[in-house]
Amino acid sequence: MASWNPDTPCSCDCFVSVPPASAIPAVIFAKNSDRPRDEVQEVVFVPASTHAPGSRLQCTYIEVEQVSKTHAVILSRPSWLWGAEMGANEHGVCIGNEAVWTKEPVDEGEALLGMDLLRLALERSRSALEALHVITGLLERYGQGGSCREDPAPFCYHNTFLLADRTEAWVLETAGRLWAAQRIQEGARNISNQLSIGTDISAEHSELRTHALAQGWWGGQGTFDFAQVFSLTQQPVRMEAAKARFQAGQELLQQQRGGITAEVMMGILRNKESGICMDSGGFRTTASMVSILPQDPTQPCVHFLTATPDPSRSVFKPFIFGAGAAQAPQVLSPTFGAQDPVRTQPRFQTQVDRRHTLYRGHQVALGLMEREQDRGQQLRQKQRDLEQEGLEAARGLLAGEWAPPPQELATLFQAFVEREGQVYA
């Protein structure tokens, strides 16, 4: 069983709004990825592809069987691993994951990371429900495990997921190979590093209740409350902090219910008072994402990604799938091949510089914001102006007021990344 420090920061926050909670006829998804403070997240575009029968796929630690066809995805991921913290695919499916600890022991043995499961589901699904089936099927076959941090000291956890598409969302919470899921067809929902599914269970592992009964966690009579049965009896300090963030997130969503937009979600992700936008104990918000998933299938989904830490001082830049979409090189980290510390044994004995071009420029900008008030305010205003352009472009596109050529849409993210780089030059 893996050991972990109860004071170790372990915080992420995912949000979703399903009409009528949204201000527009769209599902709106958002996530802050809170990770080790100096970890770099890159934004990676992977085109759709076909694969030969019998192909194998190398994930972060283990290989799995490849499928015949994979969908195009846009991923925000810690640059040392294969999976992703959050992302979307060409069919309008979005997923975010979070760390969770339960009564079920966490194993240090290498298997699929929750972040691997997330990417695999995006590459293999056309809906949130199908993505849920992909994750639970892989979980049953391969399990979840392995260190989730680029460090010699293992940092292992199980996972919860928020999955969304154009029509609905699902919360999937796991404990080892066991799981429970809740369907969200209207309203707003959030998750924050703790089990949150109680008695409203829409789907579950076939052995979930018998296992709880065998372990003595549940008496077998009356209502089955997943969170109550599987949560740790004594919650450590950091899990209590997660509870406070979860409650704050609920309140922020409730305050905006019926009027939730992409901008509202960005504001929630930037909320420092609640700890949702965090920087403490060696962890911080290292990347953020907000997606607009219109219910009208003829309208494009718009995904906003930062590729840089601290959303309160970053730019959400729009990405739209389409013919001609390609990787933006400025947000792609360098690679180290067979010499990468994640590939050599024992793992993580050395460190490498994974900063991509935009990350380096953003670091310089953050330093100026902290040292020179006037220059910092000018930089922040330029960031806001650029982000506002992206939001206005999305509004115009969804309102039918802006109809650029497909190639321009496909390269929109690249254009905004380049312009942000110029702000920091």
List, in sequence order, the alpha helices (H) in 107-199. Answer: 114-124, 128-142
Tell me which long-range contacts 132-141 makes (C-beta under 8 A, separation of at least 24): 132/161, 132/163, 132/170, 132/172, 132/181, 132/203, 135/161, 135/172, 136/172, 136/179, 136/181, 136/205, 138/64, 138/112, 139/112, 139/174, 139/177, 139/179, 140/177
pLDDT at residue 234, rounded to an integer: 80
Strands 73-78 and 86-89: antiparallel
Q: Is the pLDDT of residue 235 over 80?
A: no
Average pLDDT for residues 47-54, to the nearest whole number?
Answer: 98
To the query of whether residue 12 is one of the catalytic residues in this protein, the response is yes
pLDDT at residue 415, rounded to an integer: 97
Q: C-alpha distances in angstroms, 362 versus 286, 288, 357, 367, 422?
A: 12, 14, 9, 9, 11
Q: Is the pLDDT of residue 49 over 90?
A: yes
Q: Is the pLDDT of residue 6 over 50?
A: no
pLDDT at residue 5, rounded to an integer: 42
pLDDT at residue 236, rounded to an integer: 65
User: Which DSSP letter does residue 333 get?
Assistant: -
CATH class of 13-424: alpha beta
pLDDT mean across residues, the chain: 95
Q: Is the pLDDT of residue 267 over 50?
A: yes
pLDDT at residue 242, rounded to an integer: 86
Task: Give the active site residue among 12, 14, 156, 301.
Answer: 12
Q: Where are the domains of the chain?
A: 13-424
Q: What is the pTM of this model?
A: 0.96
